Amino acid sequence: MGEPSYEIPPVEKPAEKRLDSWKEIATYLNRDVTTVQRWEKREGMPVHRHVHDKRGSVYALSEELDGWILSRSRRADESDKEPEEEIPQAEANGDDAMPVWRGRHWVALAVVLCLFLSAAAWLVLRHRATVKVEPKDTPESRIRSLAVLPLRNLSGDTAQDYLADGITEALTGRLSNIHDLHVTSHTSVIRFRDPQLSTPEIAKALGVDAVVEGSVIKEGDRIRVTAQLIRGSTDEHFWSETYDREMRDVLPLESELARSIAEKVEVTVSGEEHSRLISARPVAPEVYESYLKGRFVLEQGNITGVEQSIRDFEDALKRDSSFAPAYLGLAKAYTRLGTVFAGAPPETTRPKVKSFARRALALDPALVEAHVLLANVLQEEWHWTEAETEYKRALELNPNDAEAHAEFALWLLCQGRTNEAAAWIEQARALDPVGVSGGSISWIAFQSHRYEDAIRESRSALAVQPENANNLLGLGFALIANNQPGDAIPVLEKAHTLSPGSPAVMGVLIRAYAHAGRRSDAVRLLEELKQRKKNGYVPAGAFVNAYLGLGDNEQAFYWLEQAYREQSNILQFLKTHPYFDPIRGDPRFAELVRRVGLG
């Protein structure tokens, strides 16, 4: 059985009320229409305009109004905490003959008044102590971790989902640069886009002290973002703010929002971190929108989305060639095209990844993701020292970045440092229990010859994402190595169906057929792989796995040489991959290890 997943049974979250006119808003707030219109205009009360339907011209959400009223009340309380004016003492006017009893009378009144004020103060303090569940200055109440939940798109137009998603990711990225604050990755919170869980349950699932909720609406050339901070343990809404800006100022808006959250959770921010938080420049709306559209379709996880994202990023750069995030987006897109499932030749993708990552870093050296992407491709080309330098720079910039931990774990694995790799991947999972899947841990366990652990981790990951072809492939690798080829066959056949024609899956499935005694099926699939190579690119690693599985070591060495020429991904794992065990004693293999810089 696999480890328990992180899924939690859904619990209905109370639906928020939508108020569809000034009259309904005024009634909800127990004020007149003029007052609430003044609040909206002068104090930024969250009221939205309809764009695509024929209902009243404005609407508001009760949850946002409640948060805004709470924030407004607290601001008013703080402004009221001014020193009381001293009552001026009566000047001497020669009335020395005043009766003594009158002086005593005022003294008595003063004593009574002091006692009354003391009692009142005691009652107020007692009341506050009763209401305040977690005092702000206790260690238990301090916020050391948070998650930015997907901001809601309130435009009424699903075509604008990219905007809310992009601002969510940007805010997450800015806050992640603070060393003393652990911020859950954007990939981990995506599943809470339409939550059926209460806020405390979401916080518990993500392992955070607080969450940020909010909404985005774009109207013409203006954008309004409403955000609120909620304590995970108590569901206390302890901060809320609305930002109304022109679209060209969306980056400064994100910067201001991140800075406000950092100040509210009272996290320590270093000088360098503060500089990164506030660094923002105006950007043309069409540039930022093209970039956000690219990020949105890139995360759809298919080739069509990747190809469209490239067009969107290129459009952003045509309009503004100095916009670093668009170069980063292109580096990510070409990295995706170079995976074993997309199957683009390395010589067409890796140079572009390096070029775009370096251009992004030239414009913004603090882009952690760009350092990681550059490190990845340097590692694939066997520039081991340079890759290590980039990984360590990424970790220096953000020690809480789970992806940087996970990728550096693979670098350690390639060096044969399996115990260190296992420790680093576990650190990555501790930082992001949802984003770092069991599939990543399974691969390191498999390479470390811990097959039972690898199988358990893969099954755990598949319990959450049963249609994930990469996790199915990882399970197939481990089952074959654990002398369970018969169990591996249906797993790999499913992966083959989910990723039609993936040469990587075909190569491992050939091995499974051969080891299960179904040699005729293995040979048939190998012939299919050869036919595909006549018509297009097939990674040499697929033939390496196939021929090693069939026990044809001479053909395996031929294809290992081809893999060396194309700098195949499989050669990163020469020191650890279990499928190479039968040929490790061959001098040709030792020479290959030396040639890739791992000898």
CATH number for position 68: 1.10.10
Residues 357 and 466 in one domain: no
Cα–Cα distance measured from residue 596 to residue 379, given in angstroms and rounded to the nearest whole number: 10
Residues 388 and 456 in one domain: no
CB–CB of 248/285 below 8 Å? yes
Which of 72-86, 466-480, 542-556 is least confident? Answer: 72-86
Q: What is the pLDDT of residues 264-301, one digit of tens each?
A: 887 666 666 666 666 666 788 899 899 999 999 998 87
Instruction: Provide φ and ψ at 50, rounded to 5°.
Output: -75, 145
- Residue 126, pLDDT > 80, answer no
Residue with more model confidence, 131 or 165: 165
Do residues 475 and 597 both lie within one domain? yes
**Local structure of residue 94 (DSSP, 8 states):** S
Q: Inform me whether the pLDDT recorded for 34 exceeds 70.
A: yes
Regarding whether 456 and 598 lie in a shared domain, the answer is yes
The band of 122, judged by pLDDT with boundaries at 50, 70 and 90, is: very low
DSSP secondary structure of 361-407: HHH-TT-HHHHHHHHHHHHHTT-HHHHHHHHHHHHHH-TT-HHHHHH
Averaged pLDDT, 324-345: 88
Q: Are 402 and 431 in contact (CB under 8 A)?
A: yes
Q: Is residue 35 part of a domain?
A: yes
| Dihedral angle computed from the Cα positions of residues 349, 354, 357 and 362, in that order, rounded to the nearest 10 degrees | -150
Which residue segment(s) compose the domain that 304 sits in?
Answer: 297-399
**d(C-alpha 564, C-alpha 575), whole Å:** 15
CA distance 549 to 390: 36
d(Cα 318, Cα 424) in Å, to the nearest integer? 40
Asked whether residue 468 is domain-assigned, the answer is: yes
In this predicted model, what pLDDT tens digit does every residue of 43-79 receive, in sequence order?
A: 778 887 654 444 456 778 887 787 777 766 665 655 5
At 517 the pLDDT is: 97
Note the pLDDT of residue 484: 98
Radius of gyration for the alpha carbons in the chain, expressed in angstroms and rounded: 31
Q: Are residues 461 and 598 in the same domain?
A: yes
Write down which residue in 76, 103, 128 finishes a domain: 76
What value does the mean pLDDT take over residues 407-421? Answer: 97
Separation between Cα atoms, residue 529 and residue 476, nearest integer Å: 19
Say if residue 506 is in the same domain as residue 391.
no
How far apart are alpha carbons 111 and 117 in whole angstroms?
10
Comparing 272 with 470, the larger pLDDT belongs to 470
pTM over 0.85: no
CA separation for the pair 394, 391 (Å, rounded): 5
Q: Exposed/middle/buried for 99, CB within 10 Å: 0-12, 13-18, 19+?
A: exposed
For 221, the token pair is 């050339």
Last residue of a domain, one of 76, 110, 127: 76
Provide the pLDDT for residue 252. Answer: 86
pLDDT tens, residue by residue, 293-334: 999 999 887 889 999 999 999 999 999 999 999 999 999 999
If you ran DSSP here, which 8-state letter would residue 91 be given?
P
Query: Could you tell me if residue 95 is inside a domain?
Result: no
Q: In sequence order, which residues have a C-beta less than 8 Å from that of residue 254 and are 6 or more positions away?
A: 167, 170, 171, 174, 280
230-234, 341-345, 548-552, 577-581, range with the lowest pLDDT? 341-345
pLDDT band at 170 (very low <50, low <70, confident <90, very high): confident
Geometric angle at alpha carbon 427, from 424 and 433, rounded to 5°: 130
In a domain, 129, yes or no: no
Regarding whether 464 and 587 lie in a shared domain, the answer is yes
Q: Per-residue DSSP letters for 142-160?
A: ---EEEEPPPEE-SS-GGG
How many angstroms separate the CA atoms of 375 and 358, rounded?
Answer: 11
Q: How far apart are CA 587 and CA 204, in angstroms?
A: 54
Q: Is residue 352 assigned to a domain?
A: yes
State how beta strands 145-148 and 182-183 pair: parallel
With contact defined as beta carbons under 8 Å apart, do 60 and 37 qualify? no
Average pLDDT for residues 355-361, to the nearest whole number?
A: 97
Please check whether residue 419 lies inside any domain of the structure: no
Q: Reply yes or no on whether the pLDDT at 480 is more than 70.
A: yes
Residues 388 and 463 occupy one common structural domain: no
Over residues 390-399, the pLDDT tens digits come to 999 999 998 8
User: Per the structure, how many domains does the chain have?
Assistant: 4
Please check whether residue 298 is in contact with residue 329, taking contact to mean a CB–CB distance below 8 angstroms.
yes
Judgement on whether residues 479 and 578 belong to the same structural domain of the protein: yes
Q: Determine the pLDDT at residue 82.
A: 45
Do 521 and 596 belong to one domain?
yes
400 vs 51 pLDDT, higher one:
400
Phi-psi region at 483: left, alpha or beta (left = phi > 0; alpha = psi -120 to 50): left
With the C-alpha atoms ordered 326, 331, 334, 340, is the resulting torsion angle positive or negative?
negative
Q: Tell me the H-state helices in 96-224.
A: 100-131, 161-176, 186-189, 199-206
Q: What's the mean per-residue pLDDT of the chain?
A: 83
- Name the band, by pLDDT with cuts 50, 70 and 90, for residue 241: confident
Calculate mean pLDDT across residues 133-157: 73
Quickly count helices (H) and strands (E) in the chain.
26, 9
Q: Does position 3 have pLDDT exceeding 60, yes or no? A: no
pLDDT confidence of residue 138? 52
Q: What is the pLDDT of residues 71-83, one digit of tens each?
A: 666 656 555 544 4
Lowest mean pLDDT among 20-29, 292-301, 386-395, 529-538: 20-29
Strands 222-231 and 237-246: antiparallel
Place of tokens 């309380």: 77
Residue 544 CA to residue 565 CA, distance in Å, equals 13
Distance of alpha carbon 406 from alpha carbon 443, whole angstroms: 11
Per-residue pLDDT at 436 exceeds 70: yes
Under 8 Å between Cβ of 390 and 378: yes
Q: What is the mean pLDDT of residues 434-459?
A: 93
Residue 92 in domain: no
Distance CA 396, CA 365 (A): 12
Are β-strands 152-153 and 210-219 bridged in parallel, bridged antiparallel, or unpaired? parallel
**CATH code (residue 335):** 1.25.40.10
The residue among 577, 575, 581, 583 whose CA lies nearest residue 599 is 575
pLDDT tier for residue 94 given thresholds of 50, 70 and 90 = very low
DSSP, collapsed to helix, strand or coil, labels residue 82 as coil
- CA within 13 Å, CB half, 390: 25
pLDDT band with cut points at 50, 70 and 90 for residue 137 = very low
Q: Is 280 helix (H, G, I), strand (E, B) or coil?
A: coil
Looking at the structure, do residues 395 and 505 belong to the same domain, yes or no? no
pLDDT exceeds cutoff 70 at 549: yes
Contact 328, 367 (CB under 8 A): yes
Same domain, 459 and 596: yes
Answer whether residue 5 shows pLDDT above 50: no
Q: Tell me the C-alpha distance between 76 and 220, whole Å.
A: 33
The residue out of 53, 76, 99 marking a domain boundary is: 76
Q: Which residue has the higher pLDDT, 361 or 79?
A: 361
Q: Are 208 and 47 in contact (CB under 8 A)?
A: no
pLDDT at 141: 66
In a domain, 115, yes or no: no
Tell me the mean pLDDT in the region 418-437: 90
Share of the chain above pLDDT 90, in %: 47
- Torsion over CA of 274, 278, 280 and 285, rounded to 10 degrees? 130
- Neighbouring residues of 404: CB distance < 8 A, sequence distance ≥ 6: 368, 371, 372, 391, 394, 395, 398
* pLDDT for position 256: 87
Percent of the chain surpassing pLDDT 70: 81
